[in-house]
Amino acid sequence: MDYRPTSGPCGGPGIPDAHGRRASYLRVSVTDRCNLRCAYCTPAASFCPKPHQEILTYEEILAVVTQAVAMGVRKVRLTGGEPLVRRGLETLVEKIAALPGLLDLCLTTNGVLLADRAKALADAGLKRINVSLDSLDAETFARITGRDALDSVLSGLEAAEAAGLSPTKINVVPLAGINAREAPDFARLTLEKPVAVRFIELMPVGPAASRNRVAGVDTQTIRRAVEDALGPLSPIPGHDLLDGPAERFALAGAKGEVGFITPVTGHPCPSCNRLRLTADGKLRPCLLSDAETDIRSVLRSGGSERDIQQALAAAVAAKPAAGPRNQGVLSGCARVMHSIGG
Ligand code: SAM
């Protein structure tokens, strides 16, 4: 089989699956450790990181990413856990950024350690950054994350802008009775700054799958709250390979944009172009399905570049047409989000 990038029914580059889609976007979790304990993602009571020897080294991550890019992956996102808690991330960024054919390299972070790292990351070749920030209120921030660190995150956002990591995206997961009322405050940020605020529906993964812990708020409710407070949201047309799955809008006169990501009330599967590499070396073709391909054993048994490509091709070939959510089974999966990479 020839694993070089090809184009097909869905057009564009990427690794083909069995349903006419192409995986052109690889999300790489560089660690399962995190410096926050968000109630819906990494609650302190159940946080159980893997032993270090089970986590891929940077050399192993680079070996997988190199072959993925050779096969047509065009966008790589580094995530975690919290990627900035892993030492030396800039060296990995520099090596991935140098791969020929890669169009976009970005990072998802909670922003707590970003202020001191933004410039070095940009210098290493990082193009853009997503900062997860669920509240602009210090008390609510601490309630959700278990840490009084809102000021550090806001400094991180400023440092990212100053370092040219733009447009910065701010990811918000609205939670009923906790931060959902802040939706207009987040949208208001886009009037003054060229940021992209993304409201993401809470997915039934890990602690978020347990109904008595936290409940998400659906996109229509959030959109209505934003429009009632700030006026109509006009759609931003167009979508390309590098855009995420968000439906994008802008308020009148805004410098930035507001987006909605609807994994729960929408139908993301037919256009899914993602493949995930977990920190412990599993390829995961669907966020909500626990089917995984073990690429760590390929790497640690002296696998060749060809073997790595074969593992990548097999993982993408096994990508389901629709995840459990689209089959009507709105249930959680065995892994928690901080170990998958979100
Ligand atoms: N630590 C980094 C961060 O905070 O962005 C990267 C990892 S974190 C798992 C990535 C994203 O997943 C965060 O924006 C977080 O809010 C989101 N997330 C975690 N659990 C989620 C869930 N059940 N539903 C929706 N988003 C979730």
Distance 302 CA to ligand 1 centre (A): 33
**Considering the entire predicted model, what is its pTM?**
0.92
**Closest CA to ligand 1's atom 2:** 109
Better-scored residue on pLDDT, 9 or 121: 121
CATH superfamily of 15-339: Aldolase class I (3.20.20.70)
Best mutation site among 134, 337, 340 for ligand 1 pocket (most ligand atoms within 8 Å of CB): 337
- Ligand 1: residues with CB < 6 A are 34, 40-41, 79-80, 82, 108-110, 132, 171, 173, 200, 202-203, 205, 208, 337-338, 342
Which ranges of the chain would DSSP assign to H, the alpha helix?
58-70, 89-97, 118-124, 138-145, 150-162, 183-192, 219-230, 296-300, 305-317, 337-340
Closest Cα to atom 8 of ligand 1: 342
Residue 100 has pLDDT above 90, yes or no: yes
Q: Does residue 320 have a cis peptide bond before it, meaning omega lies within 30 degrees of 0? A: no
- Identify the weakest region by mean pLDDT among 22-31, 221-230, 244-253: 244-253
193 Cβ neighbours under 8 A, 6+ residues apart: 161, 255, 256
% of the chain residues with pLDDT over 70: 87
Distance 41 CA to ligand 1 centre (A): 7
Please tell me the distance between residue 342's alpha carbon and the centre of ligand 1 in angstroms. 5
341 C-alpha to center of ligand 1: Å?
7
pLDDT bucket at 207, cuts 50 / 70 / 90: low
- Give domain limits for the chain: 15-339
Q: List the one residue out of 25, 105, 120, 138 whose CA is nearest residue 73.
A: 25
Output the pLDDT for position 7: 45
* Three-state secondary-structure class, residue 29: strand
Nearest CA to ligand 1 atom 11: 342
> Ligand 1 atom 4: the closest Cα is on which residue?
110
Helix (H) or strand (E) holding 284: strand 282-284
Side-chain-side CA neighbours of 58 within 13 Å: the count stands at 12
The CA 337 to ligand 1 mean position distance, Å, reads: 7
